Structure 1
Amino acid sequence: MAGHSKWANIQHRKGRQDKARSKLFSKLAKDIAIASKMGGPDPDMNPRLRLAIANAKGQSMPKDNIQRAVDKGAGGDGEDYEEIRYEGFGPGGIGFIVEASTDNKNRAAMAVRTAFSKNGGALGETGSVAFMFDQAGKIEYPLAVTDEDGMMEAAIEAGADDCESDDAADDQWDEYEPVHTIWTARDDLGTVAAELEKTFGEAKSVNLVWKAQNNIDNPDQAASVIRLMDALEDCDDVSTVFHNFEMSEAAMETLESEE
């Protein structure tokens, strides 16, 4: 999902962090169970499960929760989840990609469609938005593990495509932890993550994401875009929401003026 440390500040002030964390753990457990069911419970033999577990650990998900999710998927006694991608447009033509894991496609589709229609958007056809994004690997490490040059050098040696580091001054923004973000080609995510782990330990997060090719800077639509994002993320079946909205300083000022 596109964003910045100040975006985390907005979320915090809206009182959503506890709810978001609970939903995050639920999503992580679902991802682990699906991966375990599809490829087996041994992470050494199941790359997808290995990434799911690494991401859960990076988000401080308790080990017992992780193991229960693995066992649930391996035992085949959980729900039969299906992964679905929805695409649509928000206010001002902002593109959205919504990933869901559900055991009821009709329920998920209705919830996503309703979220779009009630918040100034419209659900589109498959492919109507995805062409504006690239699927890429994204790895995050806290700034504390090394300096910007150290992470850049390690990322290059590991085969990453790019590396970005937040400004340490962003610590002022509530509970957000500034990070090094390492970008990889889709198929290189597992290899690069494994190489970086040898040097820096487990990452904060390891994910395949939809990365916008170009972000749209439209400050006047900031509040409407966030309302749509909130509505989509509140859908029980939705796992992740990606968009190409630019959270610029002007957009921040617009949001603050409306609070």
Structure 2
Amino acid sequence: MAGHSKWANIQHRKGRQDAVRSKLFSKLSKEISIAAKLGGPDVDANPRLRLAVANAKGQSMPKDNIQRAIDKAAGGDDSQYEDIRYEGFGPAGIGVIVEVSTDNRNRAASEVRTAFSKNGGNLGETGSVAFMFDNVGEIRFPLSVADEDAMMEAAIEGGADDVTSEEGDEENEGQHVVYTAREDLMDVVAALSSQYGDPTGAKLIWKPQNLIDVPGDKAGTVMKLMEVLDDLDDVQNVYANFDISDEDMANLG
């Protein structure tokens, strides 16, 4: 997703990488705890927990942190979380999907709605945006683990649907991006991990079917909306179908 790759890069250039990493670990820990509470602490018997742990390992989250998140659920944390998907529109007509895990539905809805309304967007009805996306599995590996042909062959043999690559820069290594049907995600993760080790990311995503070009005068507002949504405590993931030119992204930096 072009917009999100560039978004991550600009956050890094702005010196927010430590804060971004801390926020990422917080979200990963929350997902692990919720998964363990809902399906039990046995990773092998709990597919959601297995995926959450795989994703955390791929992001270099320490094993102690992962175990603490599991233990928190097993220790009787009485918070009752529910998963909610919000859909809306941002500047330039982009579609945005926000995945939330919250113990307070009213708070989450209010905060998400406010984020949209204060940053050039508006919250829509369920289904108003999702049809522009495909719900698929996404697995990421550094480009250094294999050349493009080898990764393609291994991924397709393992049951994947497609493989693309994202170029890196002086700050971040490029990545192979493997897409799967949602029901095949863990099988493909297992097949590829046996050859290339833990992926840097493995999760279900909302993949845009097409990207919307955002003009320069809207780019800053789009990025601000993404940032505000991602910073909300209840929000686990944000997906959008935007593309911003390298020149406009450089200007934002």
TM normalised by structure 1 equals: 0.92
What SS does the aligned partner of 2:176 have? strand
- In 1, the alpha carbon distance for the partners of 2:95 and 2:121 equals 10
Find the counterpart in structure 1 of residue 54 from structure 2.
Answer: 54
- In 1, the alpha carbon distance for the partners of 2:208 and 2:108 equals 24
Find the counterpart in structure 1 of residue 215 from structure 2.
Answer: 219
What SS does the aligned partner of 1:101 have? strand
The answer on whether the counterparts of 1:132 and 1:212 sit within 8 Å (CA) in structure 2 is yes
Amino acid at match of 1:29: S
- In 2, the alpha carbon distance for the partners of 1:2 and 1:236 equals 25
Find the counterpart in structure 2 of residue 171 from structure 1.
Answer: 169
Find the counterpart in structure 2 of residue 232 from structure 1.
Answer: 229
**Is 1:31 the equivalent of 2:25?**
no
- In 1, the alpha carbon distance for the partners of 2:99 and 2:2 equals 14
- Alignment length, in residue pairs? 252
Tell me how far 1:39 sits from its aligned partner: 1.0
The one-character-per-residue Cα deviations of 1:161-202 (angstroms, maximum 9, x if unpaired) are 0011234xx232x2x221111000011101111111111111
| Structure 2 unaligned spans of 5+ | none
The answer on whether the counterparts of 2:136 and 2:180 sit within 8 Å (CA) in structure 1 is yes
| Structure 1 unaligned spans of 5+ | none
The answer on whether the counterparts of 1:85 and 1:97 sit within 8 Å (CA) in structure 2 is yes
The one-character-per-residue Cα deviations of 1:107-144 (angstroms, maximum 9, x if unpaired) are 11111111100001001111111111110000001111
The answer on whether the counterparts of 2:140 and 2:200 sit within 8 Å (CA) in structure 1 is yes
The answer on whether the counterparts of 1:138 and 1:183 sit within 8 Å (CA) in structure 2 is yes
Find the counterpart in structure 1 of residue 183 from structure 2.
Answer: 187
The answer on whether the counterparts of 1:32 and 1:69 sit within 8 Å (CA) in structure 2 is yes
Of 5-14 and 123-132, more deviation after overlay is shown by 5-14
- In 1, the alpha carbon distance for the partners of 2:98 and 2:252 equals 27
- In 2, the alpha carbon distance for the partners of 1:50 and 1:100 equals 20
Find the counterpart in structure 1 of residue 251 from structure 2.
Answer: 257
The answer on whether the counterparts of 2:6 and 2:249 sit within 8 Å (CA) in structure 1 is no
* CA-atom RMSD in angstroms: 1.5
Pair 3,93 (structure 1): closer, same or farther in 2 beyond 3 Å: closer
**Is 1:72 the equivalent of 2:68?**
no
- In 2, the alpha carbon distance for the partners of 1:3 and 1:54 equals 25
The answer on whether the counterparts of 2:119 and 2:225 sit within 8 Å (CA) in structure 1 is yes
Tell me how far 1:219 sits from its aligned partner: 2.4
- In 1, the alpha carbon distance for the partners of 2:179 and 2:214 equals 26
Tell me how far 1:258 sits from its aligned partner: 5.1
- In 2, the alpha carbon distance for the partners of 1:120 and 1:5 equals 21
**Is 1:89 the equivalent of 2:83?**
no
The answer on whether the counterparts of 1:139 and 1:182 sit within 8 Å (CA) in structure 2 is yes
Pair 126,72 (structure 1): closer, same or farther in 2 beyond 3 Å: same
Find the counterpart in structure 2 of residue 207 from structure 1.
Answer: 203
The one-character-per-residue Cα deviations of 1:90-122 (angstroms, maximum 9, x if unpaired) are 011100000111111111111111110000100
The one-character-per-residue Cα deviations of 1:10-58 (angstroms, maximum 9, x if unpaired) are 1122232211111111110111111111111111111111110010011
- In 1, the alpha carbon distance for the partners of 2:42 and 2:251 equals 51
Counterparts in 2 of 1:8-47, with a 5 A limit? 8-47=8-47
Find the counterpart in structure 2 of residue 241 from structure 1.
Answer: 238
Pair 111,6 (structure 1): closer, same or farther in 2 beyond 3 Å: closer
- In 2, the alpha carbon distance for the partners of 1:141 and 1:255 equals 25
- In 2, the alpha carbon distance for the partners of 1:7 and 1:19 equals 14
Tell me how far 1:2 sits from its aligned partner: 4.8
The answer on whether the counterparts of 1:2 and 1:242 sit within 8 Å (CA) in structure 2 is no
